[in-house]
Chain A
Amino acid sequence: MTGLRASIPPDPNDHPLRAALTRGDALRARSVPALQHLLAAQHSPMISEAIVAHVGGILRDLAQQIIDSRPASDQVAGRERVIDGLLQIDALREHCQALALEWRLAVRLEAEVAVDPVLTPLLQALVADPDPGVGSLAMAALSAQARFAQAQRRMQLPLAELPAELFHTILLTVRDVLDDAREEWERAEVRLRALYDEGAGRLSLFARLASVAKSIPTPMPAIEEAGVALWLSTVAARSGEDRDRTACAMADPQLGRLLLTLRAAGVAPADAERQALRAQPDAILPRGLQDVGTREAAQWLAAAQA
């Protein structure tokens, strides 16, 4: 006892038990609002437990691909550090959340109105488009969507499917996180960069399809015709709004952003409301969309992002 007592600092403020007490209390204090948030979000479609789990799964998968891309070294410790690093990237969490929401909506539409998450009527028509360029593009988009569906079911996402900005950010982040194995990682990074081809990614293929295929109905095809993937890319191309933002907006119980985005894409108010209700059949839509012009809608969206 005396020996132990001797190691304790003279100032009672520095007592190890007090420090542990402070740390424990701080942890509890942080957990209270976090718990409140989690409980409140239980019914929020944007961060339901399923979405949180899905995003977590995707982030782990991305980390695993990074670890696998370099010659074996300290795999386990590296993986945790990479996951921690990826978790810090806001834009990556946002992107994964948007993909998860997109996928869950596709699954729901399959259950409710029997729209295949991969082969939709419009995509089928585009594959047979008289313009051979559109046909082969639609075919490529179709197989990309099939890969996406398979990956999402396993809560996975190939690194190569990330938009270039995110891909680049991730590589830079990993560089910092793995600075003990820097040289090894740099060789892997060069290889990953050389293999990357944005144009072969699903998002790029659908965006191109949405912008070049003349046979996609204007102003907007029905979501059950186009399927969620092509529909979202078409909305993004025609409204100028970010695809991920729109995907998240489809889970917003108010649907305000979705309605304005559709309006900005030139969809008539009544049609926009019909389309929005397809995303959430029991939503109570905000009133007044018929008074909002397309320019006004675009301006409001731009102002909201500023």
Chain B
Amino acid sequence: MAGGGPSVTIAHPTYIARARVDGEGKLAEAGEPLASLQAACGGVMGGPLAVPELSEIVAKALSYGLKLSRPFAALGEDERITGWAEATPGDDGGCELGIIAWHAEPIGPSDADAQVARVRQELNRALPEFSARLDARQNVMTSHSSASDLAQLARKIMQRPGKPWTEYVRVITSMSDQPLHWRLLDGASVEVEGSARRWTAWLEPLGMPEPGAAGFVLTFMSDEVLPASPLDEAEGGDALPSLGEDLAPVLRRPINRVIAHAETIRTKLAGPLADIYAGYAGDMVDAGEHLLALIEDIADLEGVETAGFKVELDRINLGEAARQACGILGARAQERSIALVPPPPGEHQWARGEFRRVLQILINLIGNAIAYSPEESQVWVRLDREGREASVTVADQGRGLSEAEQQRVFDKFERLGRSGDGGSGLGLYISSRLARAMEGTLTVESAPGQGARFRLILPALD
């Protein structure tokens, strides 16, 4: 075969689009749909070729001085494009580009996108507006909600307790067989009577060996923020705007949008563009989520610091709260390979307090323990009773706190020298204020190198 060129019989491929790239890598001319793709990738006519994989093919053809024929992929405005391009280097240092195959499909959520979304939802589970503990047959055992438009749902559950949760809300599903397997309901869209918002239900199975054997934690999340009602605003009178009540809802919306857009950029660039940009977008998401968490903390802070702050004291089961908190943070613990040990199912300790506030405190304590413990360590949550005092203890194997640090740890904005980890320094302060509001206390015992034991003490009930 030496010397004899291949006897190519293929008719010259018909070009769907042609373009010319000059010697400086700038797109001198381009036909449709290439011109639109150039625009969608942020480029202009006469500017550098902005479609990353095409620009790579052109660069290679120019550097080798060879005619190349290769597949490429790109992301358009709202479609994913795959095609085949030919690049022929010219005598003038430029390059002719011919597109011989072009296939566009709408961008659907890929596996990776879905996974990112799911991870984000997992993180958000710590801040649900509605959560309930279900038994193994998905009947509601306890529930609590923190949003005013869910009050009707809470009443409905109180009036007729013990039913499957799907009877209190409308699950948007194409399947009619009831009851559905929990996996089919996890992530389902839900409509709640009295709420204009669309909710997503998440089910976290508890128990071994069969997930769900010990019941579920059900949470409702909504992407929309409850608009502040005009009535609430009127009540504010002429007092200074409060960050918690007035500004938080206003701030949440744009920050949520920033997070959502950064997430979009991140996933869009995960394909053909450089990872470094995806990394920047990831940083934006992290920063946005940090800001959001900070706003939630400050809103909480204002709540507990107002004179009229009241808790609704009730007979509550600390064991239940502890197990529920562990359930919510189980995924986060797993991510850091930390063994989270809740009180065994069936162990009870009754106390006087407000369930959701106790849950909030425990989530804060356990969340800290997970965040500041070494990987592969353990975090225990234990119940106890001494005389008239019932307690929940969260013990970790972290680096522990010195005497001086223990003095300061419950102070407002105290970070104990940590920075850059997304904390606001408000969590423990809020928790200790909440404990006091429930006529209890929050204490810490620790020694450097010995881990820390945070204990929530409430009045015991039989």
> Residues of A at under 8 Å CB distance from B?
61, 64-65, 68-69, 133, 136-137, 139-140, 143-144, 147, 151, 156-158, 160-161, 164-165, 167-168, 193, 195-201, 204-205, 207-208, 211-212, 237, 295
Contact = CB atoms under 8 A, between A and B. Distances in A.
Interface of B: 1-11, 13-14, 60-61, 64-71, 82, 84, 86, 100-101, 103, 111
Nearest to A294: B111
Contacts of A201: 6, 69
Nearest to A169: B64
Contact of A158 (B1, B66, B70, B100): B1
A196 B88 CA distance: 10
Given A164-B60, A204-B69, A65 B2 contact: yes
Contacts of A164: 60-61, 64, 66, 68
B2 A64 contact: yes
Given A199-B86, A208-B84, A211-B71, A136 B11 contact: yes
B13 A199 contact: yes
Contacts of B103: 212
B86 to A, nearest CB: 5
Given A164-B64, A164-B68, A211-B71, A143 B2 contact: no
A151 B71 CA distance: 26
A39 to B, nearest CB: 34
A160 B67 contact: no
Contacts of B2: 61, 64-65, 68, 156, 158
B67 A196 contact: yes
Given A136-B11, A193-B64, A199-B69, A147 B6 contact: yes
B1 A193 contact: no
Contact of B1 (A156, A165, A198, A205): A156
A165 B60 CA distance: 9
B67 A65 contact: no
A195 B4 CA distance: 11
Nearest to B3: A68
Contacts of B70: 198, 204
Interface-central residue, B13, B66, B82, by most chain A CB under 10 Å: B66
9 contacts: A64-B2, A65-B3, A68-B2, A147-B1, A160-B5, A196-B67, A200-B6, A204-B70, A211-B71
A157 B4 CA distance: 11
B8 A198 contact: no
B64 A168 contact: yes
A162 B328 CA distance: 57
A146 B4 CA distance: 15
B57 to A, nearest CB: 10
Nearest to A200: B8
A161 B6 contact: yes
Contacts of A207: 71
Given A64-B2, A136-B11, A158-B6, 4 more contacts: A164-B64, A212-B101, A212-B103, A237-B71
A141 to B, nearest CB: 9
A86 B1 CA distance: 18
B241 to A, nearest CB: 49
Contacts of B60: 164
A198 B8 CA distance: 12
Contacts of A144: 6
B101 A69 contact: no
A137 B82 CA distance: 18
Contacts of A136: 10-11
A21 B9 CA distance: 60
Contacts of A61: 1-2
Contacts of B66: 164, 167-168, 193, 196, 198
A69 to B, nearest CB: 7
A198 to B, nearest CB: 4
